[in-house]
Copies of this chain bind each other. A is one copy, B any other.
């Protein structure tokens, strides 16, 4: 297998090679060493994770029990988010028949690098101690770092199969950097609430990936068409990823929302929206096929759009039926996207979006941003109470006098900032990735793990062929013997 594919590759694409033996280790080592140095200079434990700090914190705040440590409020949600990042996103991208190693493996690499860089970038922008010049990290920092990676992983979804791991590291480096800046603008300057990241994660990540993919357009991608589909079992692996994303989305949205009712309400709203989205995604998927058959692409992806669309509003008093309505719409929009918009984008806008992140992240994220804006603008003292409004929208300090209409406007503006950052940032990064130094695969060698992985000889595809040859030469041998013969050869 190895041999013959190499031959094929050299026949079709002699102009490109996918050797990353120098570049990949170099990038990994240099960046990891940089991380060690920068962490040494900047990163310290926060009060809740520091031996001395926590003793002092308890004394100052008159806390008697360790259960008040933020660890116990957020750690279960953090672990759910962690599973979403590594197993959820990772396995969702294993659906291609021969790109599963790269799907889950490069996802792993990106996230492992991205979360370190995110701790630094987010630290510099959000929590740099002005006196000591240090960043103090705790459980919320870990969650935010995971969130930040998510944007780059979403971008990977659009690029899946068409880029090298070195390019992905570049995508992540810039992705995390841009994320920290737009997040600073949206959450700090605009003072938006976006606990599940409809804007900062999904809208930004979606458009970032789409813009890169647009710049990297490959006119001859059809040469890899043979590998662009799934096989039965690769779809089941992808289903593992899809379900872990679906199940843990309530934790994703509620992981950093307000303690108490905030986390609980966010979880409830997300749970309801997701359930609603499944039914409409199934309905549209079935409607679109002449006998009503379902398409795994929709089941794996469109059922998740509701979680994306609830990323801003889930923390607000959107009411249970409001959540159902948002889920209802997202399931429909997302499935329509897979059916009609993705093919349209590819044909007319020259935009190749492998996983359809346009339908799963970009559009539902945008929807979520605007739903958040509307729900915020519609908030009233009647429903929230005075104190409740202040808590929910953090209208304290210099934001004390902001009206809810203004808050809504800022939420909407935040969504636009996320789109702009995604598109402009993505185009710039895309041009960087077009430099001929990144060892990306030739057009006929896309969607193929062979490019970057040592693959096992595959018992399941190879033997019958050889067996056949054996049969031809030693006619009377029985199946079993030839089977053993070939496996030993």
Contact present for B464 and A246 (CB under 8 Å): no
Asked, given contacts A7-B480, A231-B458, whether A55 binds B320 with beta carbons under 8 Å apart, the answer is no
Contact between B69 and A68 (Cβ–Cβ < 8 Å)?
Answer: no
Closest 7 CB pairs between A and B?
A: A21-B292, A4-B480, A66-B260, A226-B487, A112-B278, A54-B261, A51-B388
Residues of B within 8 A of A77 (CB): 75
B290 contacts A21, C-beta separation under 8 Å: yes
Interface pair A4/B478, CB less than 8 Å apart: yes
With contacts A48-B264, A87-B243, A239-B104 known, is A31 near B293, CB below 8 A?
no
Q: Is A92 part of the binding interface, using a Cβ–Cβ cutoff of 8 Å?
A: no
In the complex, are the beta carbons of B295 and A454 less than 8 A apart?
yes
Number of copies: 3
**Which residues does chain B contribute within 8 Å of A349, judged by CB atoms?**
none
Q: Is the CB of B240 within 8 A of A87?
A: yes
A13 on interface, CB distance cutoff 8 Å: no
A286 contacts across to B, CB distance below 8 A: 20-21, 24-25, 28
**CB-contact partner of A44 in B65, B98, B259, B320, under 8 A:** B320
A406 at the interface (CB under 8 A from B): no
A308 to chain B minimum Cβ distance, whole angstroms, is 16
- Residue contact A32 to B90, C-beta cutoff 8 Å: no
List the B side residues contacting A33 at CB < 8 Å: 328
Tell whether, in the assembled complex, residue A383 and residue B52 are in contact, meaning their CB atoms are under 8 Å apart. Answer: yes
Q: CB of A22 within 8 A of chain B?
A: yes
Q: Which of A78-86, A192-200, A361-369, A427-435 contacts B (4 or more CB under 8 A)?
A: A78-86
Is residue A456 contacting chain B, with contact meaning CB distance below 8 A? yes
A184 at the interface (CB under 8 A from B): no
Contacting pair B45 A265 (CB below 8 A): yes
Q: Which residues of chain B come closer than 8 Å to A116, judged between CB atoms?
A: 272, 275-276, 324
Instruction: Indicate if A392 sits at the interface (CB-CB under 8 A).
Output: yes
CB distance from A301 to the nearest CB of B (A): 13
Instruction: Pick out which of these stretches binds chain B: A34-42, A152-160, A207-215, A414-422.
Output: A34-42
Assess A54 versus B260: contact at CB under 8 Å? Given A79-B251, A116-B324, A265-B49.
yes
Task: Check: A133 CB closer than 8 A to any chain B CB.
Answer: no
Known: A73-B72, A292-B25. Contact between A86 and B247, CB under 8 A? yes
**Other 4 A-B pairs with CB < 8 A, given A32-B280, A35-B276, A51-B385:** A50-B265, A227-B487, A232-B455, A293-B452
Task: Name 5 interchain pairs, CB-CB below 8 A, sorted by A.
Answer: A55-B388, A65-B68, A101-B236, A137-B320, A231-B460
A153 smallest CB distance to B (angstroms): 14
- CB <8 Å contact, A264 and B71: yes
A483 adjacent to chain B (CB < 8 Å): yes
Alpha-carbon distance between A71 and B35 when the two chains are bound, in angstroms: 36
Q: Does A289 count as interface, using CB distance less than 8 angstroms?
A: yes
The docked-state distance in angstroms from the alpha carbon of A415 to that of B159 is 47
Q: Is A248 interfacial (CB 8 A cutoff)?
A: yes
Query: In the complex where A247-B87, A294-B452, A459-B97 touch, is A51 in contact with B278 (Cβ < 8 A)?
Result: no
In contact, B391 and A51 (Cβ under 8 angstroms)? yes
Chain A, 81-136, CB within 8 A of any chain B CB: 82-83, 86-87, 90-91, 94, 97-98, 100-101, 104-105, 108-109, 112-113, 115-116
Contact indicator B36/A328 (Cβ below 8 Å):
yes
Given A264-B139, A321-B40, A391-B51, A274–B67 Cβ distance below 8 Å?
A: no
